[in-house]
Amino acid sequence: MRNAGTRARLGSVAATLVLAGAACLGQEWEVNGLAGGSAHRNLDLTNRFGSAQTGFANGVVFGVSLVQHYYDHISGEIRWTCQRSDLMLASGGAAEKFRGSAHALHYDWHFYARPRKAPLRPFLAAGAGLKNYRGTGVERAYQPLSQFALLTRTTEWKPLISVGGGVKVRLSQRWSLTAELRDYLTPFPREVIVPVGGASLDRWVHDLVPTVGLGIRF
């Protein structure tokens, strides 16, 4: 009886896998190469020495994504991007920069206004993941504006929320072009940019990322 029950459970699992495989065969996959830019909204920092602005300079972005088209109007995407964005600090006409970069890995849902075979498909996107901030410059014994914050050579992971939208243009049966704008939101990386003098930066970083992507379906 025990063997019969085991065989029945194995048969149920096998049937589930077969059905899942058949469902996946009916779906389309797409690989995209991405390139674009990055524009941050810098934050105000105030302590007993005065006020300054800190955050990240505008930079360039590139990345790749894998999209699974589940239904006519819904897709899921896993995306990795790398961006070059220097750390910055500015006050009273003086400014200091420190080389930096960031890597983001996240999963998003795409909600399309038109069906899969339409030539032009506006969409909204939302998802979540992680972002790794990196200070990659050379630290010095003295850093200008260090009375406000320290720009450090370190890394820090932060949770990420991704929201945005765009439009997908169908170039052929297999190729497509996508233009979109995302807002990547994370808590401020206080280990990469360290406030000093009693300053507080318990706020979120907004990173506006416009990209263009070329995709191929298979």
* Strand-pair partners of 36: 61, 211
Domain 28-217 is found in CATH 2.40.320.10: no
pLDDT, residue 24, reads 46
- Chain segment 153-205, per-residue pLDDT in tens: 999 999 999 999 999 999 998 999 999 999 999 999 999 999 988 777 768 99
**Residue range 119-142: mean pLDDT, rounded:** 94
Segments making up each domain of the chain, as ranges: 28-217
Which two three-digit tokens encode residue 144?
A: 């200008």
**Residue range 53-75: mean pLDDT, rounded:** 94
- Contact criterion met (CB below 8 Å) for 148 and 47: yes
Model's pTM, two decimal places?
Answer: 0.82
Please, how many CA atoms are within 13 Å of residue 78, restricted to the half-sphere of its CB?
A: 3
pLDDT, residue 17, reads 42
